[in-house]
Amino acid sequence: MTALQEKAKDVLINNWREKFTIPCANLYPFQWKWDSGFIAIGLSYFDIEKAKIELNTLLDAQWGNGFIPHIVFHTDNDSYFPGAKFHRSDLHPLASKTHKSTGMTQPPVLGFVLEKMYQIAANKNEFLSYIESVIDKVYFNHEYFYNNRDPKNEGLVYIYHNWESGTDNSPIWDDIWETMNPPEYEFERRDTTHVDASERPSKREYDHYLHIIEIAKKHNYDDVKIAKHSPFLIQDPLFNAMLIKSNESLINLYKLIGNNLAKIQQLENWQVKAKNSFNAKLFDENIGAYSHYDLRNEKLLPYLSSSSFSPIFANIPDQNRANQMVETMLQKFGNENQYLCASFDPTHQRFNPKKYWRGPVWINLNWILYNGLKNYEFDAIAQRVKSDTIAIIEKNGFYEYFDSRKEKHETGAAGYGGNDFSWSAALLIDMLEN
């Protein structure tokens, strides 16, 4: 391991809490779904047993319908809002009886995480038996998505809350907020006691976030009713690309295990349908990449974000489209004053390079894009994403997100949000191994 990898390893060791890893101290004191997946990849390089425990702990919180929640509240820590008491996962009849959680989910990364861990594992046979012990739970989770989150049977699943996207306050959602007028909730924010308010969502944005949860709670987190009543109903290219990539990995892993023909067949059917619809519905010629589809208002939301390029990670576009996407990326996000890859279009008026998902660079998206660019043999650009990622971490530390403007990095104060952030550390370890 290099010196930087050793530092990353220390971040993960410090963020370990008996059976799972927190994303970072103070700000995020519980277990988050997609964080856990990325973290397990990093852990696998130096403690694969811990990586297994990380995933097992998350999977223990799976619901009776296959759903895996976005936050599992393992402790009664009240330094986080909204916590378990607000979310009330117990309202759903099939929610876990042993774990409190939210009633929403996050991008389905576990399939490709398992495959990646298999590639890292020194003892393949032993790791394959571990995979055998958990893979059906991940398959069950995919079945949940296709059976409950795809009302038009298109092979594309929806998210009903911006927190399900993982890209919490993306400017894309502003269009949805314009269709809503939630009450002014009274609550005590905890995030802004840990992090500068200029780097976090606004109070009014939080009103919208809470209001959608109130609607879902009113319907006891029933998917059919949520699909009918949620003002936020989006087919997100990042979320669906994660699902498609994970389908692909599950197919590979079931083939390694042997048997399981019916599941492989089902996964292959989902793949064909999902990729066709994805390409037909989510590619936006006007912006030269994929965008988000608003199912509630039946229209594409015509914005470029780092999510727009994530389908290259899941082998979704053909080579021509991939060329077009990379051209768009370089043109809009890639001028020499910017680090790759800003989370939102730097040429757009809604771009804000300091504020969370409205512009800063995030390491997990860079990792996804780096691997996607390599899939299509854009080696030089992949290399640029990798060296940008290393540079911003070396200059600032393992922050949650980073200013995309290079000039801001001269002082070493261009890392924002939480520090010693787990997935920044975990995915850097992996990138440096490549």
The answer to whether 398 touches 420, Cβ cutoff 8 Å, is yes
Query: Is residue 399 involved in binding ligand GLC (CB under 6 A)?
Result: no
Query: Helix or strand or coil: residue 156?
Result: coil
- Rank residues 42 and 166 by Cβ distance to ligand GLC and give the closer one: 166
Among the candidate windows 31-39, 171-179, 314-322, 385-393, which touches ligand GLC by CB under 6 A? 31-39
Q: How many residues does the chain have?
A: 434
For ligand GLC, which is the closer residue by CB, 358 or 374? 358
Q: Is 236 an interacting residue with respect to ligand GLC (CB under 6 A)?
A: no
Cα angle at 302 between 300 and 306, to 5 degrees?
Answer: 110
| Enclosing H/E stretch for 283 | strand 283-284
Classify each residue of 127-141 as buried b or exposed e, where b means 16 or more C-beta atoms within 10 Å of its C-beta.
bbebbeebbebbbbb
Confirm or reject binding of residue 205 to ligand GLC (CB under 6 A): no
The yes-or-no answer on residue 400 being catalytic is yes
- Helix or strand holding residue 384 (H, E): helix 379-396
Known active-site residue 188 = no
Q: Counting contacts by CB under 6 A, is residue 168 touching ligand GLC?
A: yes
Q: Which residue is nearest to ligand GLC (CB)?
A: 23
Hunting for tokens 């296709």 — which residue is that? 146
Question: What residues between 7 and 26 interact with ligand GLC by CB under 6 A?
Answer: 23
Q: How far is the CB of 416 from ligand GLC (least distance, A)?
A: 12
Q: Pattern 263-302, binding to ligand GLC, x per CB under 6 A?
A: ----------------------------------------
Output phi, psi for 73, to 5 deg. Answer: -90, 90
Site string for ligand GLC, 348-367 (x = CB under 6 A): --------------------
Residue carrying the six token digits 């397990």: 40
CB of 257 to ligand GLC, least distance (A): 30
CB 398 within 8 A of CB 39: no
Q: Which is nearer to ligand GLC, 40 or 267 (CB)?
A: 40
Using the rule CB under 6 A, is 47 a contact of ligand GLC? Answer: no
Interaction of residue 28 with ligand GLC, rule CB under 6 A: yes
32 sits near ligand GLC (criterion: CB under 6 A): yes
Nearby residues of 389 by Cβ (< 8 Å), 6 or more positions away:
361, 363, 366, 367, 370, 428, 431
Which member of 42, 69, 82, 166 binds ligand GLC (CB under 6 A)? 166
The catalytic position among 168, 174, 205, 222 is: 168
Only one of the segments 4-12, 27-35, 83-91, 252-260 lies at the binding site for ligand GLC (rule: CB under 6 A); that segment is 27-35
Task: Using the minimum distance from each CB to ligand GLC, give the nearer residue, 33 or 92.
Answer: 33
Q: Smallest distance, Å, CB 26 to ligand GLC?
A: 12
Residue 141's identity, in one-letter code, is N
Spatial distance between the Cα atoms of 70 and 241, rounded to a whole number of angstroms: 17
Instruction: Work out how close the CB of 158 gets to ligand GLC at its nearest, in angstroms, rounded to a whole number.
Output: 18
Of 32 and 378, nearer to ligand GLC (C-beta) is 32
Q: Which stretch binds ligand GLC (CB under 6 A): 28-36, 197-205, 276-284, 336-344?
A: 28-36
Distances (CA, A) of 277 to 228, 243, 250, 321, 325: 22, 14, 20, 15, 18
The residues of the shown chain that bind ligand GLC, judged by CB under 6 A, are: 23, 28, 32, 34-35, 166, 168
Q: Would you please indicate which residues are annotated as catalytic (active-site) residues?
A: 168, 400
